[in-house]
Chains A and B, each alone.
Chain A
Amino acid sequence: MTLSREQIAQRVARELQDGFYVNLGIGIPTLVANYIPADMEVMLQSENGLLGMGPFPHPNAVDPDMINAGKQTVTAVTGASIFSSAESFAMIRGGHVDLTVLGAFEVDIEGNIASWMIPGKLVKGMGGAMDLVAGAENIIVTMTHASKDGESKLLNRCNLPLTGAGCIKKVVTDLAYVEIHDGKFWLIERAPGVSVDTIVKLTEGPIVVPEVVPEMQF
């Protein structure tokens, strides 16, 4: 069984540590917020200038001056802080964010990531993605392992224009948890019921498979 969006988020959440400051991108990464262990203190950074993002507001508590990076209305947790965009990106570029989670179209064996532009389609922009991948030491990419037609998205070399070069070390897909170093993919865990053969077949770049590949538990 391939992982659902929620399960990908659940798997990513296991990489959280108590005391972490975390930036979650739009889409599956946002769901990670639902799986923060109750006994852990984690502060979510929203790059429009909020550290300590809370849940969406109740309808009677909506404030147009409180939004997240996806322009959705949000709340702040107790102990949050608010600051300018320059301050926000100083945190990001200065390497102060402990974990960044974002989506991608493609990654490759050199740790390159493509996530913002498909030539021939209208380009809306990169937002903060280039700053996030360039500034963060600890990044987890969430993505589907292959296209619907079975074309791998874990490549020898990204085909699409890059968001960042040589910056990705960890990828959670619907099939596997994979790390990237030394010019190769390294298979660490597989989704429940997904065979190693399937993962290898759907990975274009060289992938190192250990003798035992544990199944993720949910």
Chain B
Amino acid sequence: MAGLNKVVTSYDEALAGLTDGMTIIAGGFGLCGIPEGLIAQIKKMGTRQLTVVSNNCGVDGFGLGILLENHQIKKMISSYVGENALFEKQLLSGELEVELTPQGTLAEKMRAGGAGIPAFYTATGYGTPIGEGKEVRIFNGRPYILEEAIRGDFAIVKGWKADTYGNVIYRHTAMNFNPMATTAGKITVVEVEEIVAPGELPMDHVHTPGIYVDRVIQGTFEKRIERLTTQA
């Protein structure tokens, strides 16, 4: 690696430094826009006791679900986790811990973490079990709860195209949580469909500027569809 070139050529390099007990922030919504090769590499490495921050936890046999099969996840911080039977089993047995977080709060926790904002007030969750035990403050007559930002030891992200400097663009709704995730990792790894030379991505179309990105790897993606729905 030299200068600002972020490209790595092996998955071993891409996740070098990931160890037991770390916190990983993962982009993706359902199975859409997930870093498939990086998740497979975590499975291969066998890293354990992980805390994973991700809107969902994949399905049985795909996405983050494969890390559950391997008993690598200690705790999930997610907004919705109902899509896998194994998740339910590990949760009920006490092997897995889950911290349910409203989806917008989860996105903002990542955004704030990446932006150096330690906490923020939001009306979301006030008066619900999510607000219990959290600081409440009134602004303009309305109560808000204090939510703390999240940072990760690693962020794993799926992009569409990146240049070698780590500028990233996403495709369609595969963007979702990925841009916030890139900002919130101490080490941010982006897996993309295509790597191009600097200057090839129009600079005013870049979604994630390269300053947030530490490593870029080119992957191949199955892009499994969770709920195929069509019209005649």
Contacts and interface: CB of A to CB of B under 8 A. Distances in A.
Interface in B100-117: 100, 102-108, 110-111
B103 A128 contact: yes
Contacts of A122: 82, 88, 91-92
A73 B227 contact: yes
B225 interface: yes
Contacts of A93: 104, 122-124
A62 B230 CA distance: 8
**Which of B92, B107, B180, B228 lies at the interface centre, i.e. has the most chain A CB atoms within 10 A of its CB?**
B107
Interface residues of B, number: 54
A57 B231 contact: yes
B128 A56 contact: no
Contact of B78 (A84, A89, A125): A125
A124 B175 contact: no
A48 interface: yes
Contact of B100 (A46, A70, A83, A123): A123
A67 B126 contact: no
Given A56-B231, A84-B107, A64 B32 contact: yes
Interface of B: 29-33, 55, 78-82, 88, 91-92, 100, 102-108, 110-111, 122-130, 171-180, 207, 223-232
11 contacts: A46-B173, A48-B32, A48-B176, A64-B174, A65-B32, A65-B173, A72-B228, A82-B173, A84-B180, A89-B103, A131-B105
Interface of A: 46-50, 55-59, 62-68, 70-74, 76, 82-86, 88-89, 92-93, 112, 117, 122-131, 134-135, 161-166
